[in-house]
Amino acid sequence: MAKPTKVLVYRHAAVTRLTHWINVLALTLLLMSGLNIFGAHPALYWGQKAVFAQPWLSITAEMTKGDEMRGVTQLGSAKFDTTGVLGYSGKVGERAPVAFPSWATVPSYRDLADARHWHFFFAWLFVINGLIYWLVGLIGGHIRKDLLPTKTDVAPKNLWHEIVTHARLRFPKGEEARRYNVLQKGTYLGVVLILLPLMVLTGLCMSPGFDAGAHWLVDFFGGRQSARTIHFITAFTIVGFVLLHLFMVVASGAWNNIRSMITGRYAIIPDKTGDHR
């Protein structure tokens, strides 16, 4: 039997590809510099002010009864030994009391001022890049045509079908592979309409200057410490999305997906059924 002939179709416009890779850079540096900033006071609280004795999450280094330093992560009343990863990390014999290991932060050394410079620069790059994506997407119709779910997409039968086939790691082929499915659309919209705006707005709430001019936004999030907590939770939810995204990229064909985000061309095998493989 002859091997099916693959056809390259145009899937991602230049602006989509460019803003995607800028986001990869910006979000990576935002996370790493954010971890350094968090390390200056590695604890989270709810409310307007920090009650230092009552964090809901903290990462610290504690001395044991045997005079041994250990990294401890506390979540509520539960404590976990995270030595070597969180709280107390580095090479054996050279470990230091830091919230996150040096390889995960920018800069690699503990410096709140430099970390803030990195964080603010890439925060603005991220915001400007996002505005360009939305502006071009709205004008060109990319958001309406490619991201907004249709009635067919959200029909219970189709929705359940997509959930089952993706759980089995069976992905669209043929004509169906030309466009996003309902799970992709819903996830991408959730990230760009909810998670990313939340991350930006709660980040602004931690700026003293912004706080003074728009204190109503801080109150909306329940106080400055609540905004900081939501910012942290949102950031790691986005990390979870990225990890899931990378898994699906690899599972559905790493090279084909990467090529489509570099050149815009995605390979499909034309068929008439649109079945999942």
Tokens representing residue 227 in the block: 């905004």
pLDDT reported for residue 145: 84
Question: Full-prediction pTM beyond 0.85?
Answer: yes
Mean pLDDT (the chain, rounded): 90
Distance CA 240, CA 59 (A): 20
pLDDT reported for residue 107: 96
Q: pLDDT-based confidence at 208, cuts 50/70/90?
A: confident
SS3 5: coil
Query: What b-and-e string marks burial along 186-224, b requiring 16 or more CB atoms within 10 Å of the CB?
Result: bbbeebbeebbebbebbbbbeeeeeeeeeeeebeebebb
pLDDT (tens digit, 9 = 90+) per residue, 123-143? 999 999 999 998 998 888 878
- Taking each helix axis from N to C end, the angle separating 14-38 and 254-262, rounded to the nearest 10 degrees, works out to 110
Range with the lowest mean pLDDT among 10-19, 131-140, 168-177, 199-208?
168-177
Q: What is the mean pLDDT of residues 140-149?
A: 85
Q: Are 229 and 45 in contact (CB under 8 A)?
A: yes
Q: pLDDT-based confidence at 70, cuts 50/70/90?
A: very high
Asked whether residue 250 carries a pLDDT value surpassing 50, the answer given is yes
**In Å, how far are 3, 6, 121, 124, 242 from 25, measured between CA atoms?**
39, 32, 12, 13, 13
Which domains are delineated in the chain?
7-39+103-268 (1.20.950.20), 43-99 (no CATH)
pLDDT reported for residue 277: 42
pLDDT (tens digit, 9 = 90+) per residue, 4-58? 678 888 888 899 999 999 999 999 999 999 999 999 999 999 998 888 889 999 9
Q: What is the mean pLDDT of residues 255-266?
A: 93
Q: How many CB atoms lie within 10 A of CB 58?
A: 19
Q: Would you give the end-to-end CA distance of the chain in angstroms?
A: 18
Asked whether residue 87 carries a pLDDT value surpassing 90, the answer given is yes
